[in-house]
Chains A and B, each alone.
Chain A
Amino acid sequence: MDTEVDAIVIGAGPAGLAVAGCLSHQGAQAIVLEAENEVGARWRSHYDRLHLHTARDLSALPHVAWPSGVPTYPSRQHVVDYLERCAENVPDIRLGHRVTRVSEVDDGFEVAATSGARELTLRAASVVVASGYNRVPHRPRFAGEEVFAGEVVHSRAYRNGRAYLGKRALVVGAGNSGAEIALDLFEHGAVPSLLIRSPIHVMPRDFLGVPSQYSSLRLAKLPTKVADRAALAVSQLVYGDLRPHQIRRPKEGAITQMETRGRIPLVDVGTIELIRQKKITVVPSGIARFTERGIVCDNGDSHSFDLVVLATGYRAELAAFIVDAPPLLDARGYPRTHGASCPERPGLYFVGFRNPSTGALHDIAREAKRVAKSVAKTIATSGRRGEGARGRA
């Protein structure tokens, strides 16, 4: 017989731990399946320099306070330690269990997973997918990559720039990781360039010494057009016109872009200061092809590099393990429904697939509470609650 529980949570990152923490707080039986052998695996493997871009007091998960001594922006290691603390509140985390299939069955869902050579199947009325915004690296391929004599790495594999002293490096992609990796390369004595192909909005992490997240939370309550104007005013005040540095601003406002396309502005932690001082060079055109020594851009310019870091982002790749996923997903492959049971598939929940300006962890904390409440309600009404995990596990 398959193991049957109240709820299955897929993923033991911030979102999974937050939901599971809330569920166990409510006395629900939940099993957390984590593909890696540790909780918070993504946060463990991110580059060393990373900090939360949001203030710790607005980034706490439910029922777990940040410990004393953690600064306003917790470091990567602080976050890992914090997630371990969160995991202490979750009784049943199965590490090394990779979910291969989530399918709908008569009275709920069936979740298949592998643990080493072992395969197992579990059943639950509620399944919470918290496999992460950053599950699978998006790695574009370029013409001529095989002739390039230098090194090409995805930002997922980048830890720090220690090995690149004096090297000419190109970071492709001006998202938050790309911009910070360029900064990290400068700090390690490399000569970095940053490829910024499309117009981007840039927002300072702090404005007048206060985290921008505080103002974002206020802006989020305003009409989009007004919020766009306010965001533009801040960016203008802090950075002025960045066009001389080959950074163009999109016509569409920052908040509109976030709401309609899920595109978040670049949260600057010092990269722009270095671009202005010409310590980081902006390459304003996409890669047409690689050559032995570097790249040729779409605009015909060629540049020499020893290292190319692809900060080209991640995909959630939910269709890889959710049977018949497309109706649940938007054009970018992210879930349509957040923090509530999917109307198309009652009992299936998604948490942690948004990255709003008000902070991903802030969002996760709110959504986790809503989801846990909803799951608890299902348990109460269905009365299916047995003695918890039974049978073959």
Chain B
Amino acid sequence: MGEPSQGELRHWHAVLLSRELKDAPRAVTVCGRELVVFRVGETVGALVDRCPHRGARLSDGKVHLDQLVCPYHGWKWKADGSGRSPGNPVARPCVERFDAVERDGAIYVKRDGSEVAFPAVDVSGYHHVHSFRVDVAAPLEVTLDNFTEVEHTGEIHAVLGYDTDRMDEVVSTVTSTDDAIRVHNIGPQKPMPWALRKLIRLPDDPRFIDDWTTRFSPVHVVYDQYWLDEAGERSPDHLRAVVFFNPKGPKVTELMVRLYSGQPPWGRYGVNALLWPVLGALGRYEAELDKRLIESLADKSPVLRGNQLGRFDKALIGARNRIAKIYRGYD
């Protein structure tokens, strides 16, 4: 597994939530590169966060009209990478630029001019509950492993997961295509506090479905989570979660998590709206539990060889291959 490099930046990476980018420029780190992201009117610009003049951080500067002004000598940079030096009006300096776009409440960047599909996620008709970013001090592969296997959910998770004592009842089905891996899990929901169970309208002894698809340009997973009663009927509440895995460097992976509900906030005469903060906090807490666990691992090497793998780990190997081939671009 190689070091994250500019090669991976040919994919669109979700680096900031829209709400995090106001008038001031923001520094972001992705695939080992330091970038500055800023708003110019209705568009978003992204440049390398280093003034080519004398190396100042452009993210410490400010935006004036359609230009980002370097805090050191006031050189001005447009989103297209062209610059102006107030002291050398004839000079035509330029800085490395990146493509940037704002969609679905997030800002994505990629290498200038790379031809690649956008990681569009179908959240049409889903209602946004909460979004957040969190850093995990572990390599991309190791972080993804945790997010694409359910055996840990009984031990680690507070609510969303399977009962450890009945883990043998969980049926996990893996289907893969060249560019995606889908894992469908069904099994007994781990015990849940009574109040929460009532709030999300769960039947008695519900079976929890955790059905996700991982794609690799860039690495992201879309989860569908819902419950069935004994007769196999779906309970009305369901969640869709989208998680982007951005390697900041070889040892740190940033997660961007976006949570959606299939139920509208105005449903149940507005009771659903009261549920939103609970779901948001829960999502954050579960991610925090995962982060703590991953960071505490004795072996954070992304290499699986030498590990004794179980029946829930099939998808891990497929994901390794696709990360190498699709995401990192190795054959």
A277 to B107, CA, bound (A): 12
A326 within 8 A of B: no
* CB-based contact A73/B262 at 8 Å: no
Among candidates A166, A209, A273, A278, residue contacting B103 with C-beta atoms closer than 8 Å: A273
Q: How far is the CB of A28 from chain B (nearest CB, A)?
A: 32
> Which of the 9-residue segments A5-13, A63-71, A295-303, A357-365 touches chain B?
A63-71
Among candidates B117, B233, B265, residue contacting A187 with C-beta atoms closer than 8 Å: B117
* CB-based contact B42/A277 at 8 Å: yes
* CB-based contact A187/B43 at 8 Å: no
Q: What residues on A are CB-neighbors of B124 within 8 Å?
A: 51, 71, 73, 75, 269
Q: With A51-B125, A73-B125, A277-B101 in contact, is A68–B44 under 8 Å at CB?
A: no
Q: What residues on B are CB-neighbors of A209 within 8 Å?
A: 127-128, 265
A1 within 8 A of B: no
* CB-based contact B126/A69 at 8 Å: no
Q: With A67-B234, A71-B262, A72-B126 in contact, is A189–B116 under 8 Å at CB?
A: yes
A320 within 8 A of B: no
Q: What residues on A are CB-neighbors of B230 within 8 Å?
A: none
A387 to B235, CA, bound (A): 43
A334 to B221, CA, bound (A): 46
* CB-based contact A277/B125 at 8 Å: no
B330 within 8 A of A: no
A274 to B99, CA, bound (A): 13
A56 to B236, CA, bound (A): 14
B115 within 8 A of A: yes
* CB-based contact A166/B117 at 8 Å: no
B114-134 Cβ-contact flags toward A at 8 Å (1 or 0):
011110101011111000000
* CB-based contact A165/B238 at 8 Å: no
A162 to B, closest residue via Cβ: B117
A191 to B, closest residue via Cβ: B115
A380 within 8 A of B: no
B43 to A, closest residue via Cβ: A277
Q: How far is the CB of A273 from chain B (nearest CB, A)?
A: 7
Q: What residues on A are CB-neighbors of B103 within 8 Å?
A: 270, 273-274
Number of residues of chain A lying within 8 A (CB) of chain B: 29
A350 within 8 A of B: no
Q: With A72-B126, A75-B124, A274-B101 in contact, is A165–B117 under 8 Å at CB?
A: yes
A55 to B43, CA, bound (A): 30
Among candidates B116, B117, B125, B233, residue contacting A71 with C-beta atoms closer than 8 Å: B125
* CB-based contact A68/B266 at 8 Å: no
A189 to B127, CA, bound (A): 26
A71 to B240, CA, bound (A): 10
Q: What residues on B are CB-neighbors of A75 within 8 Å?
A: 122, 124-125
Q: What residues on A are CB-neighbors of B234 within 8 Å?
A: 67-69
B198-237 Cβ-contact flags toward A at 8 Å (1 or 0):
0000000000000000000000000000100000011110
A71 to B128, CA, bound (A): 12
A240 to B, closest residue via Cβ: B42
A74 to B124, CA, bound (A): 8
* CB-based contact A187/B118 at 8 Å: yes
* CB-based contact A72/B44 at 8 Å: no
Q: What residues on B are CB-neighbors of A70 within 8 Å?
A: 262
B240 to A, closest residue via Cβ: A71
B264 within 8 A of A: yes
Q: How far is the CB of B178 from chain A (nearest CB, A)?
A: 13
A156-173 Cβ-contact flags toward B at 8 Å (1 or 0):
000000100110000000
* CB-based contact A187/B125 at 8 Å: no
17 A-B pairs within 8 Å (CB atoms) are namely: A51-B124, A56-B125, A68-B234, A69-B234, A70-B262, A71-B125, A72-B127, A75-B124, A166-B115, A187-B120, A189-B115, A189-B116, A189-B117, A209-B128, A210-B266, A277-B43, A277-B101
Residues of A that sit less than 8 Å from B by CB? 51, 55-56, 67-75, 162, 165-166, 186-189, 209-210, 269-270, 273-274, 276-279
Please name 16 further chain A to chain B contacts, defined as beta carbons within 8 Å, in addition to the given A72-B127, A75-B122, sorted by A numbering. Answer: A51-B125, A68-B234, A69-B234, A70-B262, A71-B126, A72-B125, A72-B126, A72-B264, A73-B124, A74-B125, A162-B117, A187-B120, A269-B124, A274-B103, A276-B43, A277-B42
For the complex of A and B, list the 4 residue pairs with the smallest distance between their C-beta atoms, beginning with the closest: A73-B125, A71-B125, A166-B115, A72-B125
